[in-house]
Amino acid sequence: MELVVRLAGAAGQGIQSLGEILARSLFRSGFFLHGELSYHSRIRGGENAFTVRLADRPVFATRRDADLLVVLTPEMGRTWGERLRPGAWVVAEEGAFPPGPRVLGLPALRLAREKLGLPLAQGVVLLGAAARLLGLDLDRVGAAVREVFGAKSEPNLQALALGWELAPPQAWELPSPGFEAGTHMLLTGGQAVGAGAIAAGCRYLASYPMTPGTPVMEFLAQRAERYGLVVEQAEDEIAAINMALGAAYAGARAMVTTSGGGFALMVEGLSLAGMIETPVVIHLGQRPGPATGLPTRTAQENLLFALYAGHGEFPRYLTAPATPEGAFYATMKAFELAEAFQVPAILLTDQFLVDSYVVVPALDPARVPMREHILSLEEIAQMEHYERFALTSTGVSPRAVPGLSPHLVLVDSDEHDFYGRITEDLAIRKAMVEKRLKKEEGLREATDLPEAFPESLRGRTVLLGWGSTFGALREAVEALNAEEDRYAHVHFQDLWPLRWAEVAELLEPAREVITVEGNVWGQLGKLLRQETGIRPMRHLARYDGRPFTPEDVVEGVRRAP
């Protein structure tokens, strides 16, 4: 059983706050949900929508059509009025939606202005009516209002009650609660990345604000004092990556968060990280490009950019979490592998994942063991001499923190010898290149192969995806198999380096492979063909800035190639 509620209005009307109140109310009622935030890049006007999908099981995808539409403006009534399921209800500002048997038009703006002296409470009046239609507990919704509005709660609680009184009784039979209090969490992908960084021991973040990377910066800044972090808003992304490398050189676990345009400015710093073998985690929240593109929309356009960015050849770890829960553990793993192999680790998310609310089991940091990879004072004291870039069987050299022992810890952006001193000895140059690339062998063994559903792909049409398309693809395969059991879903989280021979072995029994990605080129498909020789038969692309829904995927698969 599922129910889809969509709240829609203009920027400045509090749609995100209304959606958060609804999501918290449903979560506290014990329901699984997915909340998708869609908004234009402007302060006033335009489109703002928050789609909450209530379900009796965990869900990680949004839906195209709604069972209940709450609309504040005529423009949004026209935009979303065609996206309604049969039997849907509409709760609307008076005049914002055509009259009908299941349309509840309320003078919410007038009531908020005349009775409360607070026109901005218009949306809360409509939310109160929607909450009663849904059969939610008024006190529980009121508690969520207090959490979101804090000191400004009182007039909003009155607005909630006004709307509640004007609505008919419950219109749907909601499912039984799916989990007990204290066993699950409601969080966004951005919050999950930030929480994963804290759990991994991050002590320094430098960033220049850029959507959709900024929510991670905000999350860490709000908790910096509590967890002993330094959060620096740099003057630009070039400064941010170099600040993070400086912090890492001094021994701190360091991170930057950005989007495509900011990452473009960080590319020289990324190459520096490769040369000085200094770990750093880069959160790259994707949005449509090129250039400024669509700042507040979603895309999967930076896979190949992240893989090949930076001049010269050096190893890196590339991963793209599939869900907010996965983002927590993927962030921890990114820090661990960056430290263990002294490489940059790039965490690829997107606006859809960063801004989506989901219900997940309580997070357990113990699932990702974190180890210390810097020489202790006792270990370095036993060394007669210290070589920062000593040749080893794994390519990973002993890493010490400068200033804590008599030994110098030298690094340089020029090619260098084993001590870190600049050299133009070509034999040493060759040895250092091979040493750096040797680390990729260990990294490859530490990465995870893609997940297959069902396990056997023999004779099946495989839908191949990566990152945040996971929920839409999994549900699409379930829907397709309900009619004809011949489809499968293979999903990548770790993207580089991979054991590509094992990937080829996994896909070999499949009848055909269809890539489903938020880009035009089919970037994972190109990488798959390059590394395995497997050529996807078709590519389902979405590049309008919106996320895939299960309906999109099902229709795309059924469409004649």
430 and 515 together in one domain: no
Separation of alpha carbons 205 and 529, rounded Å: 36
Q: Is 479 helix (H, G, I), strand (E, B) or coil?
A: helix
Asked, for residue 527, whether it belongs to a domain, the answer is yes
pLDDT at 406: 86
Asked, for residue 137, whether it belongs to a domain, the answer is yes
> What count of Cα atoms within 13 Å lies in the side-chain half-sphere of residue 307?
15
The CATH number of residue 329's host domain is 3.40.50.970
Separation of alpha carbons 556 and 490, rounded Å: 17
- What pairs with residue 53 in β-bridges? 4, 34
Average pLDDT on 11-33 reads 96
116 and 16 together in one domain: yes
Asked, for residue 435, whether it belongs to a domain, the answer is yes
Average pLDDT on 192-211 reads 98
227 and 249 together in one domain: yes
pLDDT at 459: 97
Average pLDDT on 34-63 reads 90
Q: Which of 418, 446, 474 is the last residue of a domain?
A: 446
203 and 341 together in one domain: yes
Q: What would the pLDDT profile of 380-389 be if each residue is shown by its tens digit? A: 988 989 999 9
352 and 396 together in one domain: no
Q: Which of 310, 332, 363 is the last residue of a domain?
A: 363
Asked, for residue 175, whether it belongs to a domain, the answer is no
Q: Is 216 helix (H, G, I), strand (E, B) or coil?
A: helix
pLDDT at 44: 66
pLDDT at 524: 98
Asked, for residue 173, whether it belongs to a domain, the answer is no
Question: In sequence order, what are the residues at sequence separation of 6 or more whose Cβ sits closer than 8 angstroms to the Cβ of residue 430?
Answer: none
| Res. 45: pLDDT tops 70 | no
280 and 413 together in one domain: no
CA 35 from centroid of its chain's CA atoms? 13
| Res. 560: pLDDT tops 80 | no
234 and 357 together in one domain: yes
Q: What would the pLDDT profile of 488-539 be if each residue is shown by its tens digit? A: 999 999 999 999 999 999 999 999 999 999 999 999 999 999 999 999 999 9
Q: What would the pLDDT profile of 272-295 be if each residue is shown by its tens digit? A: 999 999 999 999 999 999 999 999
Asked, for residue 300, whether it belongs to a domain, the answer is yes
Average pLDDT on 5-13 reads 95
Short-list 242, 268, 275, CA closest to 423: 275
Residue 41 confidence class, pLDDT cut points 50, 70, 90: confident
Q: Which H helix or E strand runs over 436?
A: helix 426-446
Average pLDDT on 175-190 reads 94
Tell me the C-alpha to C-alpha distance, in Å, between residue 353 and each of 36, 192, 198, 381. 9, 10, 19, 46
Q: What would the pLDDT profile of 231-283 be if each residue is shown by its tens digit? A: 999 999 999 999 999 999 999 999 999 999 999 999 999 999 999 999 999 99
Q: Which of 446, 462, 481 is the last residue of a domain?
A: 446
Average pLDDT on 436-447 reads 98
Q: Which H helix or E strand runs over 553?
A: helix 550-558
340 and 427 together in one domain: no
Average pLDDT on 320-333 reads 98
Contact assessment for residue 6 and residue 66, using Cβ atoms and an 8 Å cutoff: yes
The whole domain housing 302 covers 186-363
| Mean predicted lDDT score pLDDT of the chain | 96
Separation of alpha carbons 38 and 443, rounded Å: 37
pLDDT at 175: 86
pLDDT at 43: 64
Q: Which H helix or E strand runs over 19?
A: helix 15-28
| Res. 20: pLDDT tops 90 | yes
456 and 441 together in one domain: no
Asked, for residue 59, whether it belongs to a domain, the answer is yes
- What pairs with residue 86 in β-bridges? none
| Res. 445: pLDDT tops 80 | yes
65 and 204 together in one domain: no
64 and 139 together in one domain: yes
Identify residue 146 by its one-letter amino acid code.
Answer: R
The CATH number of residue 488's host domain is 3.40.50.920
The CATH number of residue 75's host domain is 3.40.920.10
Number of domains in the chain: 4
Q: Which H helix or E strand runs over 431?
A: helix 426-446
> What count of Cα atoms within 13 Å lies in the side-chain half-sphere of residue 308?
6
43 and 60 together in one domain: yes
Asked, for residue 371, whether it belongs to a domain, the answer is no
